[in-house]
Amino acid sequence: MINVRRVDIHGVPFIGFRGTFSSKKGLPRLEEDLIAVNLMKSKGVYAKVFTDDGRVARVRLNDFKHMSLLPSLHPDSFTQSFVSGSILKKAERLLENYPIILARAQKMQEAPINWGGLPFDFNFCDAMVVATADYPNGKWEFGERGALYPFEQMNIHPSAVVLHYGQGIFEGMKVFYSKQGRLVAFRPQDNAARMQRGAERLCMNPIPTDFLIEAVKATVIGNKRLLPPYGVGASMYVRPFEFGSGPKLGVKPAAEDTLCIFASPVGPYFKGGLTPITLLVESNSRRSAHGIVGNIKAGGNYAPSMLVAKEAKKQHPEVSEVIYLSSDGQNKIEEVGAANFFAIEEESDGRIALIRPRLTGTILPGITRDSVIKLAKAFGYSVMEKDIAIETVMRGETIVGAFCTGTAAVISPIGKIIMENGSEAKEVSFNGGTVHPVAEKLYHALTALQVEDWDNEALKDLPKEFIDEVKKEWVYVLEE
């Protein structure tokens, strides 16, 4: 007995036609619907039937007596999946007559998901967006060359520029079910703007903001059953990435760029959530230098950090990440692994100020970083951007706390920093190794804003004007 997991319908429908239709007898139909059905059949609309044993068969639209097709992203293309119902039973019978092997099947996650136990890692994904554009000045568009597809392995030319010369960038954003019952993303317009800057720097086609957000929305809706419910401590992490997919042998921009977006439910980046982490100062390697690409999310910035983090954890198992210093020999703090750094300073009059390293072209301008800066100012804290010498932090005099920020980490308080000096190691702890009250306050406020929890106690000291701005500019509603 063949067990059919899913049936996916692909094709090019009649331009301008939108809605559902059925060839089932007895249902009223409009004349234009009949025209659309016939045109779709003549255009080669087809179905892929996925089975448990890894087979995928391709069958024709008119092999099915009943079909419900909804355009996806663009009136010229659609993909629709069926995971239950009579169409799967029909597919089981058809598969014996169409044993064409097209690809490996994707087995959908059907067991109950332990939302509270999810790691920050790739967990599950049902659907992804793929689109292409020719370089230079290519037009990003869906249609026959791009749409929402089942999540599966991608084909890529062995001489694709990204594989040899690292022509690729990525973004990360989070999507939530909000307390208002809506599907929301946090500042996706800013992710789009940063991705555009990265594309220009690496000679790729910048993706228009509206196009990227529409593609993100389609990806999220395509994986909607994997969205964590409100209040479980998990979120959906969305990963758009663009890369030079066209083949080249010389060091030149690819003639074709590809955009892919997938999504996965995730748990906290650091185990334990809002608990202090331990960092090690990296004295040998540098993350970036002036004139390179430290200020964009290029994949090549992250691969070299893997060995550094691995060696740090080997020497000090309690270490979560490393602190990178500047490349100018002045030992200024730049970043924490893949996150931005903040110091909490107690001024001479007892007031608290937040200090963050200056953006000089070597540090990624984090969106969470910017959110924390604006949030802290709204709370009335002094926020300064200046050089932070590692020696000043290690003395533990005026610096009374520290934390790092990022899309994945949100706000991670730093409990201890270790700095090696030859055979010796110096340590400094903040707030007795516990979470500093300022970091905790900012964390609870930011996470409340992300999920539209407007009545949260953590927001009570924020001006109404700031909350109104967040509602308008930060929270992007994907679906009511």
What is the extent of the structural domain holding 71?
A: 4-95
Mark which of 61, 95, 129 sits at the end of a domain: 95
Mark which of 266, 299, 327 sits at the end of a domain: 266
Note whether 335 and 447 are same-domain residues: yes
Q: Which residues contact 330 (CB under 8 A, 6 or more apart)?
A: 387, 389
Note whether 66 and 137 are same-domain residues: no
Q: In the chain, pLDDT over 70 holds for what percent of residues?
A: 74
Note whether 119 and 41 are same-domain residues: no
Note whether 339 and 435 are same-domain residues: yes
Asked if residue 107 is part of any domain, the answer here is no
In this structure, how many other beta carbons lie within 10 angstroms of the beta carbon of residue 377?
Answer: 13
Structure tokens at 406: 């990022």
Where residue 29 falls among pLDDT bands split at 50, 70, 90? Answer: very low
Nearest CA to 3 out of 100, 113, 112, 83 is that of: 83
Higher pLDDT, 111 or 117: 117
Q: Are strands 56-60 and 319-325 parallel, antiparallel or unpaired?
A: unpaired
CATH for 404: 3.20.10.10
Where residue 365 falls among pLDDT bands split at 50, 70, 90? Answer: very high
Note whether 222 and 361 are same-domain residues: no
Grouping H, G, I as helix, E, B as strand and the rest as coil, residue 52 is coil
Asked if residue 183 is part of any domain, the answer here is yes
Mark which of 33, 67, 95 sits at the end of a domain: 95
Note whether 284 and 375 are same-domain residues: yes
Q: What is the mean pLDDT of residues 222-247?
A: 93
Nearest CA to 179 out of 462, 405, 422, 459 is that of: 459
Asked if residue 447 is part of any domain, the answer here is yes
Note whether 299 and 247 are same-domain residues: no
Asked if residue 101 is part of any domain, the answer here is no
Q: Are 130 and 141 in contact (CB under 8 A)?
A: no
> Amino acid identity of 119?
P
Asked if residue 307 is part of any domain, the answer here is yes
- Alpha-carbon distance of 476 to 40, in angstroms, equals 35
Burial 347-366 (b: 16+ CB within 10 A, else e): eeeeebbbbbbeeeebbbeb
Note whether 219 and 122 are same-domain residues: yes
282 - beta bridge partners? 324
Asked if residue 102 is part of any domain, the answer here is no
Where residue 399 falls among pLDDT bands split at 50, 70, 90? Answer: very high
Q: In the chain, pLDDT over 90 holds for what percent of residues?
A: 58
Asked if residue 287 is part of any domain, the answer here is yes
> For the segment 285-306, what is each residue's pLDDT rounded down to a tens digit?
999 999 999 999 999 999 999 9
Q: Are 224 and 108 in contact (CB under 8 A)?
A: no
- Alpha-carbon distance of 136 to 170, in angstroms, equals 19
| Residue 364 Cα distances to 197, 297, 340, 467, angstroms | 12, 7, 8, 26
Note whether 418 and 448 are same-domain residues: yes
Q: Are 72 and 148 in contact (CB under 8 A)?
A: yes
Q: What pTM, to 2 d.p., does this model score?
A: 0.79
Number of DSSP helices (H) and strands (E) in the chain, helices first: 10, 21
Q: What is the mean pLDDT of residues 272-280?
A: 85
For residue 31, pLDDT beyond 50: no
Query: Could you list the active site residues?
Result: 297
Q: What is the mean pLDDT of residues 434-447?
A: 95
Domain count, the chain: 3
Note whether 122 and 213 are same-domain residues: yes
- pLDDT at site 266: 94
Between the ranges 27-31, 67-71, 223-227, where is the mean pLDDT highest? 223-227
Which of 218-232, 317-331, 378-392 shows the lowest mean pLDDT across its residues? 218-232
Asked if residue 199 is part of any domain, the answer here is yes
77 - beta bridge partners? 74
- pLDDT at site 318: 94
Note whether 85 and 121 are same-domain residues: no
CATH for 226: 3.30.470.10
Note whether 241 and 325 are same-domain residues: no
Mean per-residue pLDDT of the chain: 81
Burial 30-64 (b: 16+ CB within 10 A, else e): eeebeebbeebeeeebebbbbbeeebbbebebeeb
